[in-house]
Every structure is written in structure tokens, then in C-alpha cells.
Chains A and B, each alone.
Chain A
Amino acid sequence: AQKVTQAQTEISVVEKEDVTLDCVYETRDTTYYLFWYKQPPSGELVFLIRRNSFDEQNEISGRYSWNFQKSTSSFNFTITASQVVDSAVYFCALRAILYNQGGKLIFGQGTELSVKP
């Protein structure tokens, strides 16, 4: 079975602090994709990153960085120098590659990040 666990339900930080959102996944597939999405109060899902299971290289995009460790089945997301606009719910998700699974995306429960000024 596939599963994504985001153990942190809520995180509150003060602006300019660094914050890491944890994501642990379970899958029997050898090939899979991992995602992070941001959901602001308006509700739409904003795509942040997609990572192939073969590519364990960490990625940095501005204040965002992602640490993918296959050995621990984790795909953590760090925001450096957080800002109030980063306040949102963040979802980690896993996609199976097998065609007969319809390419479905399995989400974690989400972490609500609150950045206070």
C-alpha cells in the first residue's frame, strides 16, 4: 500500500525564521514521483516541485529547498527566512508509476504553516 505521512499538523513561526516541513512516504514501487503543493486560504493547489525517485539530488529554488532521502523514505521541505505570505497548508504527495493504478496521487494530511510578523 502507498502512504504519505506528514506528522506535523500545525507549525507556527515568526517571520524570518527557517522552517522544515517533514514528509515520510511508503511505497513498494521502485519508480515513483514525489510532489509538494501549497494551498493558500483561497483553496487552489499550487504546484511547488516534482521529484523522480531516481533523482536524489537536493533542489533549491529561491527560499525553498527540498531534501530527498530514499534511505529514510523522506522528502522534507525547508523554507528559509519565512515570510507572512508563506502561510498556507502544504501537502506532500506520492504518485505510483504503474499504469493500472491510473497514476493516482496520494496526499499526506498536510501541514498548516502560520508565519507571524
Chain B
Amino acid sequence: SQTIHQWPATLVQPVGSPLSLECTVEGTSNPNLYWYRQAAGRGLQLLFYSVGIGQISSEVPQNLSASRPQDRQFILSSKKLLLSDSGFYLCAWSAKGTGDLNYGYTFGSGTRLTVV
């Protein structure tokens, strides 16, 4: 069965420090991968998505970047965190292809980031 791992669960980082959040998927190949952020206002904002290794699409200009060095690994990074980067970060994957079964999503358990 497919699983998605996201870590760490919580993180407190000072302003100006770097960030690296990692997400890995098991039990599938060539997935679409996504990073979402949920700020205090509750809405889920799509930050990045990737349809393959090295292919990253950015949805919102910001202080963050994403990379996909391996098929089932998706990394969210920042060189210097801002206070506004605080939030709840969720990784997700979905399968490619057609048919109803390929249009589901699986979300990780999330990382709660507090920038102080």
C-alpha cells in the first residue's frame, strides 16, 4: 500500500535561519507531488507542485523553494526564514493517468512551523 511520510512534525526556527522539510512517498512511482501551506487564517494554499524529477512549478512567489531530487522525494526549503513563513505545511501526492481511481490525493500528517 502507498504511504506518505513527512517530517518533522513540529519545528521552531529563528528568523533568518534555513529550512528543509522533507516528504517521501512509498508504494507508488511517478506520482504528482504537492506542498501546501495553511496559515493562521485556515485556508490551504498550494505552494509548489511537481509532475516529475526536477520539474517544479511554483504557484506563489515567496521566500520558499522546492526540489524533487528523486522520484518519490519532495523537499521544501528556505535560505532565510521570515516570520510570515510560520504555518502548517502539508505534503501530498496523487497518481497520474485517467479514471476515477487516479484522482485521489493522500496527504501527509503535516509540519507545524513556528518562526520566532
Q: Which of B43, B46, B50, B88 contacts A105 (CB 8 A)?
A: B46
Is the CB–CB distance between A110 and B44 below 8 Å? yes
Residues of B within 8 A of A45 (CB): 90, 107
B-binding segment of A13-21, A64-72, A79-87, A95-103: A95-103
Is the CB–CB distance between A89 and B94 below 8 Å? no
Number of interface residues of B (CB under 8 A): 27
Q: Which of B34, B104, B112 contacts A43 (CB 8 A)?
A: B112
Is the CB–CB distance between A43 and B109 below 8 Å? yes
A45: nearest residue on chain B (CB-CB)? B107
Is the CB–CB distance between A44 and B107 below 8 Å? yes
Number of A-B contacts (CB under 8 A): 58
Residues of A within 8 A of B103 (CB): 33, 50, 95, 103
Residues of B within 8 A of A108 (CB): 43
Known: A99-B96, A105-B34, A110-B44. A50 touches B104 (CB 8 A): yes
B49 near A: Cβ within 8 Å?
A: yes
B110: nearest residue on chain A (CB-CB)? A43
Distance in Å from the Cβ of A50 to the closest Cβ of chain B?
6
B107: nearest residue on chain A (CB-CB)? A45
Q: Apart from A43-B112, A103-B94, list 20 A-B contacts with CB within 8 A.
A: A33-B103, A43-B109, A43-B110, A44-B107, A45-B90, A50-B100, A50-B104, A89-B42, A99-B51, A102-B49, A102-B51, A103-B49, A103-B96, A103-B103, A105-B46, A105-B105, A108-B43, A109-B41, A110-B43, A110-B44
Q: Which 7 A-B pairs have the closest CB atoms?
A: A107-B44, A109-B43, A102-B49, A45-B107, A110-B42, A102-B51, A33-B103
Interface residues of B (CB under 8 A from A): 32, 34, 36, 41-46, 49-51, 57, 59, 88, 90, 92, 94, 96, 100, 103-105, 107, 109-110, 112
Interchain Cβ contacts under 8 Å between A and B, 14 examples: A44-B107, A44-B109, A45-B107, A89-B42, A91-B44, A93-B44, A99-B51, A102-B49, A103-B96, A104-B59, A105-B105, A107-B44, A110-B42, A112-B42
